[in-house]
Structure 1
Amino acid sequence: MIQGQQCLISILPIMKNGETISAVCKVTYRGLTHLHTALTKVRKLEKQVNAYQTEISDLKGTKYTLFDFSGELEAIRKIKHEATLASKSMSTVLIIGDSGTGKELFAQGIHVSSGQMGAFVQVNCAAIPADLLESELFGYADGAFTGAKRGGMKGKFELAQNGTIFLDEIGDMLLPLQTKILRVLQEKEFQPIGSSKTIHLNTKIIAATNQNIEQLVREGKFREDLYYRLNIIRLNIPPLRKRMVDLPDITYEMINRLNQSGFYIKGITHSALTKLMKHSWPGNVRELQNVLERAANLKTGDYIDGDDIPTFNDLLKENADPHYPSPTYKEIFQKSEKEMIVAALK
């Protein structure tokens, strides 16, 4: 309110060398009723779309959709757009990103958005012992080897028939098995261990790694031909420290999920959010999720406060990534406010 008259004030910071040197302030007195109506319609549509995506996700046996990946950074919008396009074809997808950045979320989101009505099957190539990984992937026939399960066992590829198989941490896969994966990608068929039956594959294949896969190829630890076969559609997910402008949105989305799981949190205070903004997040979004869940358990009031956030070792700005200085909370709020208004007007 200015002199008793309702208005909308928007401030756009002017940046130079990562610092705010000035700002453009705009005061709007007209059209506020229309703007409020537009914002209400946008929120209603978002709820309808989210409900629809959740229903599809439940039917396909996944937890996440591409709508669950929060962020308005241009790079994130681009990745989400590319992921949506990737879901429309059977081409392989390679997701690259640090541990905890949300590679599994993107894989599930692509599956939900695809026309594949089969299951989403995830394989952690680093967690399964090397001598068991082949049978886990391709299955085996009755009596294929000593100790084999009577009647045989379906492998992950067969379980993902007409669906999606997600080969997580594929950079840890041994070379002999890489050769067999390459054949599956080329021929679109495979045989279970000890079986003469050929299974023709109709499965979308998504692979992911947190390693420098090009370096693995140069070192001879990853087959070059398999790399090119996987690297048809590539999604590079940036670490959280490079997208701090999205941290408030991600935080509020996580608080909503915590409330859905049984917590009661009205929001987060400025001091708590400022504390989060000063951390470099080596554990990425997964670390942020753990910090917020811990705070949700420790809080004494309705809001997550600064005292509920742990003291990080790298709270000081000089310990953060110097190439990606963290914007202030005020700058982030102003940028988000402007983008919301522009989106609503569109």
Structure 2
Amino acid sequence: MLFLNSTIEMILDNVNDAVCIVDKNCITRIWNKRAEEIHGVTKDKVLGRPITDFFPTALLPKVIREKRPYVDVYNSPKEDSHNIITARPLYSGNELIGGISCDRDISELIKLTALLDKTKLGLKVLEEEITALSENRFSFDRIVGHNIAFREIVNLCKNISKSNINIIITGESGTGKEVFARAIHIESRRKGHFIPINCSAIPEELMESELFGYEGGAFTGALRKGKVGKFELAHEGTLFLDEIGDMPLSMQPKILRVLEDGMITKVGGTKSVKVDVRVVAATNKDLKKMMKDGLFRKDLYYRLNSILIKLPPLRERKEDIPDLINEFIEHFCITYRSNIPEIPSQVMDALVNYEWEGNIRELKNIIERIVILVKNNKSEKIDIDFLPRSIIESNKERIKCEEEILDLNHIIHRAEKEAIINAMKISKGNKAKAAKLLNIPRSTLYFKLDKHKLTCCAGK
């Protein structure tokens, strides 16, 4: 099979990335000069042979098997070799004909990381640089999900991002409220910063100074130079009021005033300052119920609630779970410098069918744990035992229930029991009438009552 002509091969030999192209059987067809330099394998040895003969953990076979791309993921094709790789399937029309990968060598960067680790200098910065190669975490493009209702929410948020209206985002804990708030800020193209504040984490007596700042010496323990508040920091940007349901009642009218006239006054100050701030609030509480109970001001609610965004829990968008799992695995494999493991169908089914009460946050934490276990056990796939006990037990219970639903003996047993209960109710406990309704001898009814432990139905 002819993949490329000599001119294109010559061009590929002059690019800075290692380029490998295989056919659909994973036989190597193109291997440029940079690939020879990075991997230490000459073209004459690798061409015409399976790529796995030289690199058992190569990503291209996985790309061809799954028919999906992997973009900027960590890969270690052999010991002491560290790459950031992008690999994609190749098609001719609708026919899969092979795959292509482009590697960037980061081995020297990894060695430098180890050196800095020993000297305790700069390690955190370097790790962040490696991680940054594969993510722009907060744009709408990075929000994963194909669920129809979820995509409608994403599109709505995109459409309202460039306006100045205030927004309330609701949803269970862990559904991604801050992720959406940050994406709205990025899409808005506002000049200022995104400033988050968790209303539940700040004591009531400090809330005003945190939001509006204070003048030097305004109270005991205050900084001599004073402090800039969150509203001022968010000038020409976005202020994210997380857990707005925990905002103290005493602070709510002050927030309302800023939303209405855009003026703030620092604690201990007399001068008002004009700020241009777009407010996005979030909560997992029922604000309407809180209003009825007198715990949240109606005027503040309706001032904030120009647009209400309700994020669905993860259990209502199960079709998105495999994509989220792959996204988190790729992320943490870069973080922990581990090859992407295989996910057996048994493991994927267990993860997809779990209830995920902690939603996306819980899923992300579990995937991080799995990647660490895979690396520590030097495994090439995710073993079912790498999952938390709660997920394993839930999976066993689900399988048992599914088996019972299809078990004919179980179905007959349940139907017989329900029929006897109904007959005893209709006959008001009269066994003779119940037996006649069921068209069975009275002695058989006695036997079945005992069999199903229905003595509570016994009457006359």
The TM-score, its normalising length taken from structure 1, stands at 0.74
Verify the 8 A CA contact 2:138 2:179 in the aligned structure 1. Answer: yes
For 1:242, which of 316, 327, 347 is the aligned residue? 316
1:76 to 147, 150, 153: 150
1:306 to 384, 391, 405: 384
Q: Is the 8 A contact 2:336 2:372 kept in 1?
A: no
Distance 1:242 1:319 in 2: 22
Residue 224 of structure 2: aligned partner:
150
Distance 2:360 2:343 in 1: 17
Which residue matches 2:284?
Answer: 210
Deviations 1:158-211 (A, max 9, x none): 011111110000001111101111111111111111112211111111000011
Q: 1:303 to 1:220 in 2, by over 3 A?
A: same
Residue 180 of structure 2: SS of its match in structure 1?
A: helix
Q: Work out the CA distance in 1 between the residues paired with 2:94 and 2:224.
A: 66
Give 1:106's aligned amino acid.
Answer: F
Structure 2 SS opposite 1:303: coil
1:96 is aligned to 2:203 = no
Q: Taking structure 1 as reference, are residues 311 and 145 closer, same or farther at Cα in structure 2, changes over 3 Å only?
A: same
Residues 97, 191 of structure 1: CA spacing in aligned structure 2 closer, same or farther, 3 A cutoff?
Answer: same
Query: In the aligned structure 1, how far is the partner of 2:399 from the partner of 2:94?
Result: 41
What is the distance in 1 between the residues matched to 2:137 and 2:269? 34
Length-normalised TM-score, structure 2: 0.56
Pairwise CA distance, 1:319: 11
**Gaps in structure 1 of 5+ consecutive residues:** 1-31, 41-57, 321-346
Cα distance in 1 for residues equivalent to 2:330 and 2:239: 29
Query: Could you tell me how far apart the structure 2 residues matched to 1:95 and 1:318 are?
Result: 36
2:195–2:238 Cα contact (<8 Å) kept: yes
Contact preservation (8 Å) 1:213, 1:222 = yes
Partner residue of 2:346? 271
Structure with the greater alpha carbon radius of gyration: 2
Aligned-partner Cα distance in 1 for 2:394–2:230: 42
Is 1:86 aligned with 2:160? yes
1:256-313 alpha-carbon deviations (Å, 9 max, x no partner): 1112313422342212111112210111111111111111111231222322112225
> Aligned-pair distance for 1:146?
2.2
8 Å Cα contact 2:195/2:240 also seen in 1: yes
Looking at both structures, which has the greater relative contact order when contacts are Cα pairs under 8 Å and sequence separation is at least 6?
A: 1
Kindly, what percent of the aligned residue pairs are identical?
A: 42
The alpha-carbon distance between structure 1 residues 155 and 175, as it changes in their structure 2 partners (threshold 3 A), is: same
SS of structure 2 residue aligned to 1:175: coil
Aligned CA-pair RMSD: 3.0
Q: Secondary structure at the match of 1:297?
A: helix
Whether the aligned pair in 2 keeps the contact of 1:263 and 1:296 (CA below 8 Å) is no
Aligned to 2:439: none
Contact 1:269/1:304, CA 8 A, preserved across alignment: yes
